[in-house]
Amino acid sequence: MSEVIRRTVTIRNKLGLHARAATKLAKLSHQFDAKVTIVQGDQRVDASSVMCLLLLASGQGREIDVVAEGKDALVAVDAIANLIESRFDEAQ
């Protein structure tokens, strides 16, 4: 059984988890041999699905958990947390 890695991060970019940001996150999650999930409150969605990510409606200042299980779980969580913390490479 593989280890589950979890990290809490705060959405920092002005527009939150909008379409472009969700697409970047989903594409990034596909790069790893791990099942990545985003948890916000009672909602748990597949990080590789843009539509599911958009349904979270995560705005600026919201805390989410990045959870991964699998061979690349640690590097997946690190990479996704870095993307979120860097504001999805957006100016604001």
Active site residues: 18
For the entire predicted model, the pTM comes to 0.94
CA dihedral 20, 49, 87, 60 (to 10 degrees): 100
Q: Please give the Cα distance from 89 to 74 (Å, whole number).
A: 21
* Domain-wise residue ranges, the chain: 4-89
pLDDT at 76 (0 to 100): 98
Low-confidence ranges of the chain (pLDDT < 70): 1, 92
For domain 4-89, give the CATH superfamily: HPr-like (3.30.1340.10)
Q: Residue 46 is which amino acid?
A: D
Residue 44's SS3 state is strand
